Structure 1
Amino acid sequence: MSRAGPRRAGPVLRAAAACGFLLLLAPLVVVVVVSFSAGAFLAFPPPGLSLRWYAALLANGDMLAALGTSAVLAAMVAALSLALGFPAAYAIVRLNFPGRRLLAGLLVAPLLLPTLVLGLAVLLALQPLGLTATWPGLLIAHLTLAVPFAVRILATAIGAVPAELEAAARTLGASPLRVALRITVPLAAPGALAAAALAFLVSFDETVLSLFLVGPRLTTLPVELFRYAERRTDPLVAALSVLLVLIALAVVLLVERAAGLTKTLSRE
């Protein structure tokens, strides 16, 4: 008995999908066009085309310093999210202990709170410790958002590893640590890479939490962009937005090529 292949989308569904894509991409197209404007103010359509605002962006020391801060901070958040998230995800998926469901719920709890409430709570917790406007304070704040995402993806990746392989390794005399390092970690590596990429992007793009914790000498790129947009309305904002979109796209394409991000996330 032959199985019927997947049904092809009809013209109505295709038209609806095309309209949806256009609706989602239209703002991005406008931002890209405005970023090449030759005018002195945000306007669409632009009065002319020029690269002047990309040159102005490269000459803006505050923006470049904030970009470096955000990149380093996001890389640290990605590494620590893996270091903290992998043991937690393994415990949730593979171990059976009292409070396992409670632990899983607590790890997801930061995602259920409004970011404004979470930012205020982090500020009240870190201010008595003198960690506001410091690297450790920003790192802790961003980890509160990045770790739950990492745990979710890592739990899916670890759950996809056949438990029989781990059991077979243990029956052959391998220690639990050796099983984890030689069996679980290599097979879950694509999921770990996807979790690191998502943690990087979450940290790199985070604005609300950073607004509560930055200072005059330490700021992130989204906060600097927010402050710049409050003072001025020139197309440099659009040029920086295009740069941020390209960075996010580059990270996603790199992970997709290296580990198959779509397949990893579709297992959930």
Structure 2
Amino acid sequence: MQRVLWSGLIVLLYLFLLAPILVVFVVSFDTRNYLAFPPESWSFGSYAKVFRNAAFISSFGRSVVIGLAVSLAAVTMGTLLSLALVRWKFRGREAISFLVLAPFLVPHIVLAVGIMLVLAPLGLLDSYRGIILAHLGITVPYTVRTITMSLMAVDRRVEEAAMVHGAAPLTVFRRITLPLIRPGLIAGGVIAFLISFDEATISLFIVSVKTSTLPTEIYNYLEISTDPQIAALSVILILISIAVVIAVERLVGLRKAL
């Protein structure tokens, strides 16, 4: 009896957590020109409108390009910082480690204002360089975290054995260390991409017209209209996120990567 009650409680908890997604999924098939639940009639018209919306398509492409650039830069910076924090002992290491992870503790709205005040005098607002730098500020801590955990799990004796047999430090890093920390690199890159792709708060302070990302385009669209097209776009983005998670699981295994 107790097991049945626990199972029922777990099912109810999952339903509560998934209810918003399920409602969005159902509403995306509505034929009315406003958001309402339940749907009056069913159609794929909202999905067709999404793929015909030039603003959504172009901003989606920009978000993908920016996300890939941020992911590559965040993994590179995260690897260098993780190597310094894990392998080297120097004065101020703890302070640097705290500063790297500090964005975890600061609300995004505060970060957004600070980043805007830094980028504005440099003329980097509404530019690809500006949005990439802004997103690096919130993604690097995640890559440092995942790559640091992978580095701490590496057996240093393997690297030392390679160096004893004459391998140069760069060769050891390229042939031994990198393959061993690959799950952390992949996890950090995927997390950085998803955070950059989905970031709205900071982007609203940085971008305008030339570099409008998909989240900011959605926000601008909601200011003038609320129809099932937004729900359809949300479902598409959810499916993309699920596909990315499945890809990571197939490549390295989700638990191993995280």
Separation in structure 1 between the aligned mates of residue 135 and residue 4 of structure 2, nearest angstrom: 44
Once the two structures are superposed, what CA deviation does each residue of 1:123-181 show, in whole Å capped at 9, x if it has no partner? Answer: 00000000000000000000101111011001111111111111222222222222111
Q: 1:258 aligns with which of 239, 242, 251?
A: 251
Q: Given that residues 127 and 210 in structure 2 are in contact (C-alpha distance below 8 angstroms), is that contact kept between their aligned partners in structure 1? A: no
Separation in structure 1 between the aligned mates of residue 218 and residue 16 of structure 2, nearest angstrom: 25
Seen in structure 2, the aligned counterparts of structure 1 residues 97 and 170 have a Cα distance that, compared at 3 Å, is farther
Letter paired with 1:174: A
Q: 2:217 aligns with which of 215, 224, 232?
A: 224
Identify the residue that residue 22 of structure 1 maps to in structure 2. 15
Residue 264 of structure 1: how far off its partner (Å): 2.7
5+ unaligned residues in a row in structure 2: which ranges?
A: none
Separation in structure 1 between the aligned mates of residue 171 and residue 181 of structure 2, nearest angstrom: 15
- Is 1:67 the counterpart of 2:37? The answer is no
Q: Given that residues 183 and 256 in structure 2 are in contact (C-alpha distance below 8 angstroms), is that contact kept between their aligned partners in structure 1? A: no
Q: 2:144 aligns with which of 140, 151, 155?
A: 151
Once the two structures are superposed, what CA deviation does each residue of 1:81-110 show, in whole Å capped at 9, x if it has no partner? Answer: 111111111221222222221121111011
Q: Given that residues 53 and 236 in structure 1 are in contact (C-alpha distance below 8 angstroms), is that contact kept between their aligned partners in structure 2? A: yes
| Identical amino acids, percent of aligned pairs | 42
Q: What TM-score, normalized by structure 1, do the two folds share?
A: 0.93
- Is 1:198 the counterpart of 2:179? The answer is no
Q: Aligned with 2:209: secondary structure? A: coil
Please list, as runs of the form range in 1=range in 2, the aligned pairs for 1:103-252 lying within 5 A after superposition. 103-252=96-245
Across the aligned residues of Structure 1 and Structure 2, the Cα RMSD in angstroms comes to: 1.3
Q: Aligned with 2:121: secondary structure? A: helix
Separation in structure 2 between the aligned mates of residue 43 and residue 66 of structure 1, nearest angstrom: 26
Please list, as runs of the form range in 1=range in 2, the aligned pairs for 1:33-72 lying within 5 A after superposition. 33-72=26-65
Separation in structure 2 between the aligned mates of residue 175 and residue 96 of structure 1, nearest angstrom: 21
Q: Given that residues 71 and 193 in structure 2 are in contact (C-alpha distance below 8 angstroms), is that contact kept between their aligned partners in structure 1? A: yes
Separation in structure 2 between the aligned mates of residue 12 and residue 162 of structure 1, nearest angstrom: 45
Residue 200 of structure 1: how far off its partner (Å): 0.4
5+ unaligned residues in a row in structure 1: which ranges?
A: 1-8
Q: Given that residues 56 and 236 in structure 1 are in contact (C-alpha distance below 8 angstroms), is that contact kept between their aligned partners in structure 2? A: yes
- Is 1:89 the counterpart of 2:82? The answer is yes
Q: Given that residues 194 and 259 in structure 1 are in contact (C-alpha distance below 8 angstroms), is that contact kept between their aligned partners in structure 2? A: no
Decide which moves more: 163-172 or 64-73. Answer: 163-172
Letter paired with 1:112: L
Q: Aligned with 1:242: secondary structure? A: helix
Q: Given that residues 35 and 236 in structure 1 are in contact (C-alpha distance below 8 angstroms), is that contact kept between their aligned partners in structure 2? A: yes
Residue 261 of structure 1: how far off its partner (Å): 1.8
Separation in structure 2 between the aligned mates of residue 247 and residue 53 of structure 1, nearest angstrom: 17
Q: Given that residues 191 and 264 in structure 1 are in contact (C-alpha distance below 8 angstroms), is that contact kept between their aligned partners in structure 2? A: yes
Q: Aligned with 1:129: secondary structure? A: coil
Separation in structure 2 between the aligned mates of residue 167 and residue 56 of structure 1, nearest angstrom: 59
Letter paired with 2:41: G
Q: 1:98 aligns with which of 74, 80, 91?
A: 91
